[in-house]
Amino acid sequence: MNGAEAIIESLKREKVDLVFGYPGGAVLTLYDAVYKMKFPHILTRHEQGAVHAADGYARITGKVGVCFATSGPGATNLITGIATAYMDSIPLVCITGQVGTSLIGKDSFQEADMSGITTPITKHNYLVKRVEDLPRVLKEAFFIASTGRPGPVVIDVAKDVFAAELEYEYPESVELKGYTGLFLGDSDEIEAASQAMQMSRKPVIFVGGGVVLADMADEIRSFVKKTGIPVVSSLMGMGVMPSKDGCYLGMVGMHGTYTANMAVMQSDLLIGIGVRFDDRVTGIVEQFAPKAKKIHFDVDAAEINKNVVVDYRVCGDIRRTLPIFCKKVLRIKQDWRSHLLPWRAYLDKMKERYPLTYDAKDGEILAQHVIEMVSDYAKDDAIIVTDVGQHQMWTAQFYNFRHSRSFLTSGGLGTMGYGLPAAIGAKLAQPHRQVILFTGDGSLMMNCQELATAADNDIEVKIVLLNNGVLGMVSQWQRMFYGERYSQSQLKTKLDFIKLADAMGVKGMRVTEEDELDTAIHRMLATEGTVLLEVVVPPKENVLPMVAAGKPLNEMVLGAEE
Amino acid sequence: MKKYLLALLVDNRPGVLTHVSGLISRRAFNIESIAAGYTEEEDVTRINIVVSVNNELELDQVVNQLNKLIDIIKIVNLTKFDPIQRELVMIKVKASPATRTDIMNIVEIFRAKIVDINRETMVIELTGEQSKIDALCNVLKDHEIIEIARTGAIALSRGPIPAKRL
């Protein structure tokens, strides 16, 4: 068996059933093994597409996503996708070809130091120069990527290693001196945190991506049902609570709901679970939740006290710590719901008074309205994917999320171009589920070549393109903070998205009139195959409410009503 | 700013120094010195880092972030254990026959060593705590220092327990 075959065999042992990638000089032997061993592989049209697709696959399944790329430019094209996965803690194993061992360090053709380049954006990385190391490295890579706080791992393999012969034996377990993958948590910390609940009259639970990654949404939902504690969510925590749940206040932060932000600002106890208090959430960090004692649940000790100094830390895997905490809290009081009634009534009134709104002028179709309509017509278990920008925030605000692990978005890095390939990866992971991508005319163009990947492989993604002819979020900031000087944000373009879709083998439809919208959405969802529905929306709509950068959460610019 | 001495026990594998130094620069941690070397265990390297931080919370960040690196086996904040700290310096200084005696007196006072001498210069070696080395460098300023090479601090805890069991 050669190194390339050993890699494929190891992927099989790790129960990988699909790889995304793009061949090239340094990985010819690897692709020869893919061919000979008939390993399922999707050829994207750009390496960035491959890594985002693997990311989408990982987010939906909870398994490790895998992608291949060749040395040099192939490998560096993965960088944005690796950084995207790293910021959102997504488990990936990226296998890149490197030039031959004798050529490493000589600025050889298509050489780039992947271990060096990816060190700041990977959980770990390897450069493999000896074939006998491959099985151990693969075993470790999958273990590291998927345990604790998940993240991407890069394995850079010298070209000659793929061809070298080895006695293949896949290790049963990993032996890493500095990493056990176990994050059990400390019962004293859990006890202290649950005691902190005793005195609280205005608690708020703040859920984030960590809850999704740990598949703990059901635990949260049942705890909230029993206690009636109100919940706010980060962008990455969308779907942990059903959007329409009575205890759910919405997204918190820069484009959060008024009620969610006020609840955090007035709360006397904030229970952060699997969150990292990102600056888009906290507003000016010194004035974040000033009245609240803070509890922070996280698997990563380095997240605790990183951005926000907390009073109670519960460091460990929430799959272990959270159920114990919930049980203890429920034992403190029998009647949590009635105890919290005044707080809930106060927030309910606020929710009623300050709902998320938008105000369409005659003849205009607003993106928010489109998203709401799609939300109404989509299947209950649809997978929702976004790109980055205004449409992303509107999706977070107006889509009616029903399930956890069903919303794919680049939250941490904010990667335009993430959506389409991620949607492809998600659909391939779970072909029975409807996959809907909300994107913009800026974002879609960043990886539009993947339309061909979708069409050629019959990957059914429903693309809702909200075309406002501008880079919406950039324009919004220029409108609000730069005296309407729209520098380089107006896409005055000759681009015809329907023809583009057509050229790639994707069915396209365009809607410009409000009265066509309903039929068009129905047709898009009913038509087989990948469909692109372009909806022309006005260029000057703002995402509101909004907390300007450097302001506290209670200084919000509100919506149309104010 | 307060200084802390950390002992990092790391897997002696390629890339480990990149991982450690990369993390330090990316997180914008202030490092006063860094010194690495082999240990009593064949596959373990010990990296001694002196970090400069504003408060304990910042120190926790440094330790927790470093701890996330897979190739780090253990991190010990030796400052907590009143450690023995040493640094080695070599100083090449101008030394004409006229100034030689004066310099030798200084060397004597500091219990340093002269390890090279010629008609124009001397190389002085000194081991000690950072403050002592700073003091010698300062005194020798009167004699035109040509170059200085310092190792950065290394440290061991007092008593029988090694860092790996602290």
Set out the domains of chain A in order of their start, with CATH numbers.
Answer: 3-163 (3.40.50.970), 187-353 (3.40.50.1220), 367-536 (3.40.50.970)
The predicted pLDDT at position A187 comes to 96
Nearest to B26 among A120, A300, A305 (CB): A120
- Stretch A176-190: mean pLDDT, rounded? 94
Determine, for residues B15 and A126 on separate chains, whether the beta-carbon distance falls below 8 Å.
Answer: yes
Rounded Cα distance between A199 and A230, Å, is 16
Contact in structure between A235 and A211 (CB atoms under 8 Å)? no
- Stretch A93-99: mean pLDDT, rounded? 98
CA distances from A219 to A38, A245, A322, A324, A326 (A): 41, 15, 8, 11, 8
Of all residues in chain A, the percent with pLDDT exceeding 90 is 97
Which residues belong to CATH 3.30.70.1150 in chain B? 84-154
pLDDT higher than threshold 80 for residue A562: no
pLDDT higher than threshold 90 for residue B13: no
Confirm whether A449 is a catalytic residue: no
* Structure ipTM: 0.89
- Stretch A242-262: mean pLDDT, rounded? 97
Contact status of B57 with chain A (Cβ, < 8 Å): yes
Give A525-544 pLDDT, tens digit per residue. Answer: 999 999 999 999 999 999 99
User: DSSP labels for A221-242?
Assistant: HHHHHHH---EEE-GGGTTSS-
Closest C-alpha among A330, A165, A354 to residue A262: A354
A 309-328 residues with CB < 8 A to B: 309
CATH H-level superfamily of B84-154: ACT-like. Chain A, domain 2 (3.30.70.1150)
Contact in structure between B9 and B46 (CB atoms under 8 Å)? yes
Tell the CATH topology of B2-81.
Answer: Alpha-Beta Plaits (3.30.70)
Sheet holding B72-77, edge to edge: B30-38, B44-53, B2-11, B72-77
- Stretch A462-466: mean pLDDT, rounded? 98
Q: How confident is the model at residue B18 (pLDDT cuts 50, 70, 90)?
A: confident
Give A193-203 pLDDT, tens digit per residue. Answer: 999 999 999 99
pLDDT higher than threshold 70 for residue B151: yes
Catalytic residue among A1, A109, A327, A561: A109
Contact in structure between A451 and A506 (CB atoms under 8 Å)? yes
Give A112-154 pLDDT, tens digit per residue. Answer: 999 999 999 999 999 999 999 999 999 999 999 999 999 999 9
As a whole number, the mean pLDDT across chain A is 97
Which residues belong to CATH 3.30.70.260 in chain B? 2-81
pTM here is 0.96
Give B41-72 pLDDT, tens digit per residue. Answer: 999 999 999 999 999 999 999 999 999 999 99
A 104-163 residues with CB < 8 A to B: 115-116, 119-120, 123-127, 144, 149
Give A434-461 pLDDT, tens digit per residue. Answer: 999 999 999 999 999 999 999 999 999 9
Give A381-413 pLDDT, tens digit per residue. Answer: 999 999 999 999 999 999 999 999 999 999 999
The predicted pLDDT at position A560 comes to 53
Rounded Cα distance between A441 and A468, Å, is 7
